[in-house]
Amino acid sequence: MLNVKDVVANLDVVREKLAQRANAETLSQISELAGLRSQRIQEIEALRYRQNEENKKIKAIVAEFGPKSEQMAQARKGQKELSEQIKGLDPLVKEVEEDLSKLLMSVPNLPHESVPVGKDENDNVEISRWGEPPKMDFEPKWHDELGRDLGILDFESGAKIASARFTVLKGLGARLERALANHFLNTLTERGYTEIFAPTLVNTPTLLGTGQLPKFEEDLFKIGGDWDLYLSPTAEVPMTNLVSQTVLAKDQLPLHMCCYSSCYRSEAGSYGKDTRGYIRQHQFQKVEMVHVCDPETSYDELEALTANAEYLLQSLGLAYRKIVLCTGDMGFGAAKTYDLEVWIPSQNTYREISSCSNCEDFQARRMMARYKDSTDKKSKPKLVHTLNGSGLAIGRALVAVLENYQQKDGSVVIPEVLRPYMGVDRITP
Task: Give the residue numbers marked as catalytic.
Answer: 265, 280, 352, 355, 396
* Contacts of residue 349, Cβ cutoff 8 Å, sequence gap at least 6: 343
* Contacts of residue 99, Cβ cutoff 8 Å, sequence gap at least 6: 33
Closest CA to 321 of 86, 137, 129: 129
Phi-psi region of 359 (alpha: psi -120 to 50; beta: other; left: phi over 0): alpha
Using CA atoms, how far apart are residues 128 and 309, in angstroms rounded to an integer? 14
The number of residues making up the chain comes to 429
Fill in the amino acid letter for 140: P
Closest CA to 363 of 338, 339, 384: 384
Q: What is the DSSP string of 161-201?
A: HT-TT--EE-THHHHHHHHHHHHHHHHHHHTTPEEE---SE
CA 65, 66, 70, 71 torsion: positive or negative? positive
Burial class (CB in 10 A: 0-12, 13-18, 19+), 152: buried
